[in-house]
């Protein structure tokens, strides 16, 4: 993948960048710009549990669910991610994602760009043991973190470690697939006499992966903020649109757009 292709792939953002989940949103024409600082400040204030509407908006089966159900799944998936985070750290007596990945025998590589244009842009897990962290996005994020006004909001943050932790959960999930909540919880799509078709819910895996990552890197806010942060390096306008959506899903009012000249 070249830089231009990556740029193009980022145009229809909004799919929840960490995940493989996603339905295509209709193309909204233009988003008013906001400063990164203001957006991050607002988003880091949203408690983890309140992200459920945003997370499920990326779930292909979302139309079948009600809010109380979404909320319950959110809580249970967060608990699952946390539990496995603690469990894995204990089991290996290690705490950083890169140490854990190594101890678990994962092959972690850090290419600059993904090979092909896909929705998974910043990191991905490929079965059985391959994790890729794409460094172009990470480097852009690092640059922003050099600004005191950004680092004072996001704190000490190793973006590549956070991405790695998220992907590591997908490996853990596969390893414990017989018992782990995110794989055991299913919904019945249809039944006909003795026949039925049950499906796992992708959003649950993504919620748990975020909670797992948060547990490992000790993040004081919900990692969904990273969607806006990472996208901003490529498209401040898309990041602003995503921010707007996130705020609305969390029942909050997005801040007023800035004058164009104020936005870097």
Instruction: Name the residues that contact Zn ion, by CB under 5 A.
Output: 18-19, 206, 209
CB closest to Zn ion, residue no: 19
CB of 166 to Zn ion, least distance (A): 6
Nearer to Zn ion, 174 or 258 (CB): 174
| Cβ distance to Zn ion smaller for residue 70 or 170 | 170
CB of 52 to Zn ion, least distance (A): 16
In the complex, least distance from residue 191 CB atom to Zn ion, rounded to whole angstroms: 29
**What string of DSSP letters covers 157-221?**
--HHHHHHHHHHHHHHHHHTTTT-HHHH-EEEEEEETTEEEEEE-HHHHHHHHHHHHHHHHT-SS
Q: State which residue, 42 or 206, has the beta carbon closest to Zn ion.
A: 206
Evaluate whether 183 touches 175 at the Cβ level (below 8 Å): no
Cα-Cα end-to-end distance for the chain: 26
Residues 140-149 as b/e (b if ≥16 CB within 10 A, e otherwise) read bbeebbeeee
- 141 vs 202 by CB, closer to Zn ion: 202
Per DSSP, 256 falls in state P
Q: Kindly tell me which of 153 and 180 has the beta carbon lying closer to Zn ion.
A: 180
The pair of three-digit structure tokens given for residue 233, joined into one six-digit string: 């390096």
Q: How far is the CB of 195 from Zn ion (least distance, A)?
A: 31
> Shortest distance, CB of residue 187 to Zn ion, whole angstroms?
19
The residue with tokens 């649109």 is 241
């Amino acid at each position: 993948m070249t830089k231009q292709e990556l740029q193009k792939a980022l145009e229809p953002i909004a799919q929840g960048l960490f995940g493989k989940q996603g339905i295509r949103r209709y193309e909204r024409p233009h988003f008013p710009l906001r400063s990164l600082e203001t957006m991050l400040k607002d988003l880091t204030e949203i408690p983890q549990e309140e992200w459920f509407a945003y997370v499920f908006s990326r779930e292909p089966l979302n139309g079948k669910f009600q809010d109380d159900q979404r909320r319950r799944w959110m809580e249970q998936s967060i608990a699952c991610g946390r539990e496995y985070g603690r469990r894995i750290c204990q089991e290996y007596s290690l705490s950083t994602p890169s140490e854990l990945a190594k101890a678990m025998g994962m092959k972690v590589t850090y290419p600059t760009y993904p090979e092909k244009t896909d929705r998974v842009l910043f990191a991905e897990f490929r079965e059985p043991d391959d994790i890729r962290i794409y460094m172009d996005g990470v480097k852009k994020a690092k640059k922003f973190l050099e600004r005191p006004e950004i680092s004072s909001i996001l704190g000490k943050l190793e973006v590549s470690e956070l991405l790695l932790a998220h992907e590591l959960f997908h490996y853990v999930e596969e390893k414990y697939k017989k018992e782990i909540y995110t794989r055991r919880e299913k919904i019945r799509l249809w039944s006909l006499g003795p026949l039925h078709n049950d499906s796992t819910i992708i959003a649950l895996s993504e919620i748990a992966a975020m909670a797992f990552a948060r547990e490992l890197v000790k993040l004081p806010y919900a990692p969904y903020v990273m969607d806006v942060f990472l996208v901003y390096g490529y498209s401040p306008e898309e990041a602003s649109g995503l921010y707007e959506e996130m705020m609305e899903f969390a029942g909050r009012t997005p801040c007023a757009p800035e004058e164009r000249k104020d936005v870097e």
